[in-house]
């Protein structure tokens, strides 16, 4: 199989997954969404009628008024296509098409900081903050992890190797969000160095906003790094130990090449494909984990938006956020796949 064909196949699968996730989400929230939109249509029309004085006075009895309103609601529901159930092919097709073109509609309750209720605006406002926090964390974690993992791999069974492995196992059994709560306890209560809530108090237009945002970001960032770098180092160590046992390394050693150079330029290069893959996957995985972490630190990103949308059942926001999260997740899975296929041609010949 050629590389292009491999790419095409992966891309099609990914698109299928995206559609499937959307379908599942729509299927799960569709019924609720229908009843909510019908209610809001009814409310809107009642308001229109009561505001229109001349129309109101033309009715003689309340029965007449009621039947008029009832008719209007029915007409509006039909024109919006709400008379058909959410699972009818047209409606699913329409909503899928809308979502694909990034038209998520308007949020029912939530608004962006600037006051817009357009789901697209809300998401575009929150997404950069999540990317800022989690990409920075992943960058720090991977540099630390690769460095520490290389040291551990060069001295297998040494003290530093054992400490790294032990720390990796122990740190990965604590939930990140619990460490977050603990960090808030220690650094916001015991020693009040950092704020307990990560949302900056000043408005986004203030010139000091970014400084404040970075200051509020410190505590969640430290938490994510602390919990993450151990398992990274362990992973890199395992990959490197495998590579270091191969014959070509032995040959390099026999040729008298400096041990450090073997480790950093030859071994690390050969361990790169799985490391890069895991890096791409962990980037996207951290986005999913962001929901709880952001809720703990009150970080104003996608995760908290998602959580808020769910707690008030703001369905357009839920669907929009799920779509964006899934798309990011799939994009990184795809990139990981492609990178692996590029580095290691054996994968393509599955």
Partner 1 sequence: MSFSARGIWHEFSHNKIGMTGIAILAILFSMSLIAFVTIPVENFKTWNDPASWLLYPKSAQPAWVNYFQSEKIPEHLILQPQSSSQQLDSVYVLTDSFAVNYQYDGFPSDFIYQYAAKYGGSPLLQLSVTRPDGIELPLVSTSLPFSNTETTYNSMLFSTQNVITKNLANAKSRYSFPLDTLSSEKIVFSKLTENKILKGNYLFRVHLYDVSGKPVLVKSNLIIGGKVYGMMGTDELRRDLSIGLLWGTPLALFIGITVSIGSVILGLLYGVFAGYKGKATDEVLMRFNDIIYAMPALPLLIILAVTIGNSIFLMVGFLVIFGWVGIAKVSRSMALQIKTLQYVEASKLMGQKDHKIIFKHILPQLLPYAFASIAISVPAAITTEAGLSFLGLGDPTFPTWGQILHDASSYSAAARGMWWWILPPGIMIAITGLAFVFMGQAMDVIVNPRLRR
Q: Which residues bind partner 1 (CB under 8 A)?
A: 13-14, 16-17, 20-21, 24-25, 28-29, 32, 169-170, 172-175, 177-179, 181-182, 184-185, 188-190, 196, 287-289, 291-292, 295-296, 306-307, 310-311, 313, 318, 321-322, 325-326, 329-330, 333
- Alpha-carbon distance 129 to 302, whole Å? 8
CB nearer to partner 1: give 16 or 208.
16
CB of 182 to partner 1, least distance (A): 7
Cα separations in angstroms, 141 against 60, 120, 135, 144? 73, 31, 10, 5
CB of 8 to partner 1, least distance (A): 14
Long-range pairs for 285-288: beta carbons < 8 A, 24 or more residues apart: 285/329, 286/134, 286/137, 286/138, 286/224, 287/130, 287/134, 287/325, 287/328, 287/329, 288/325, 288/329
CB nearer to partner 1: give 189 or 254.
189
CB of 61 to partner 1, least distance (A): 42
CB of 254 to partner 1, least distance (A): 26
CB nearer to partner 1: give 179 or 213.
179
CB nearer to partner 1: give 6 or 268.
6
CB of 230 to partner 1, least distance (A): 13
Q: Which single residue is written with the structure tokens 């362990």?
A: 234
CB of 207 to partner 1, least distance (A): 29
CB nearer to partner 1: give 279 or 290.
290
CB nearer to partner 1: give 7 or 28.
28
- Alpha-carbon distance 241 to 290, whole Å? 32
Q: Contact at 8 Å (CB) between 45 and 73?
A: yes
CB of 330 to partner 1, least distance (A): 6
Structure-token pair, residue 99: 């979502």
Residue 304 exposed, middle or buried by CB count within 10 Å (0-12, 13-18, 19+): buried
3-state secondary structure of 347: helix
Residue 102 exposed, middle or buried by CB count within 10 Å (0-12, 13-18, 19+): middle
CB of 126 to partner 1, least distance (A): 14
Q: CB under 8 Å to 237, separation ≥6 — which residues?
A: 149, 150, 152, 153, 161, 164, 165
CB nearer to partner 1: give 28 or 163.
28
CB nearer to partner 1: give 272 or 331.
331
- Alpha-carbon distance 79 to 70, whole Å? 14
Q: Contact at 8 Å (CB) between 303 and 130?
A: yes
């Amino acid at each position: 199989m050629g590389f292009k064909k491999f790419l095409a196949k992966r891309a099609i699968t990914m698109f299928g997954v995206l559609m499937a996730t959307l379908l599942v989400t729509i299927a799960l929230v569709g019924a609720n969404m229908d009843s909510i939109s019908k209610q809001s249509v009814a409310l809107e029309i009642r308001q229109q009628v009561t505001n229109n004085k001349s129309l109101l006075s033309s009715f003689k009895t309340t029965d007449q008024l009621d039947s008029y309103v009832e008719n209007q609601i029915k007409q509006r529901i039909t024109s919006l296509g709400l008379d058909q159930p959410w699972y009818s092919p047209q409606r699913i097709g329409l909503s899928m098409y809308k979502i694909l073109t990034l038209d998520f509609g308007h949020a029912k309750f939530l608004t962006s900081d600037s006051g817009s209720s357009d789901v697209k605006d809300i998401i575009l406002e929150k997404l950069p903050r999540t990317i800022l926090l989690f990409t920075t964390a992943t960058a720090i974690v991977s540099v630390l992890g690769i460095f520490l993992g290389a040291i551990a791999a060069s001295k297998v069974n040494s003290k530093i190797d054992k400490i790294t492995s032990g720390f990796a196992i122990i740190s990965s059994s604590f939930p990140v969000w619990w460490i977050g709560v603990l960090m808030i306890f220690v650094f916001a209560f015991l020693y009040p160095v950092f704020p307990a809530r990560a949302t900056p108090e000043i408005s986004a237009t203030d010139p000091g906003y970014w400084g404040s945002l970075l200051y509020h970001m410190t505590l969640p960032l430290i938490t994510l790094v602390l919990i993450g770098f151990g398992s990274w180092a362990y992973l890199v160590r395992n990959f490197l130990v495998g590579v270091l046992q191969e014959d070509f390394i032995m040959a390099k050693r026999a040729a008298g090449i400096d041990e450090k150079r073997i480790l950093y330029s030859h071994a690390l290069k050969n361990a790169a494909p799985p490391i890069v893959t895991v890096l791409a996957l962990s980037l996207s995985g951290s986005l999913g984990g962001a929901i709880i972490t952001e809720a703990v630190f009150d970080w104003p990103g996608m995760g908290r938006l998602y959580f808020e949308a769910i707690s008030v059942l703001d369905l357009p926001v839920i669907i929009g956020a799920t779509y964006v999260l899934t798309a990011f997740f799939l994009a990184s899975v795809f990139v990981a796949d492609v990178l692996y296929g590029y580095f290691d041609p054996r994968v393509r010949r599955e």
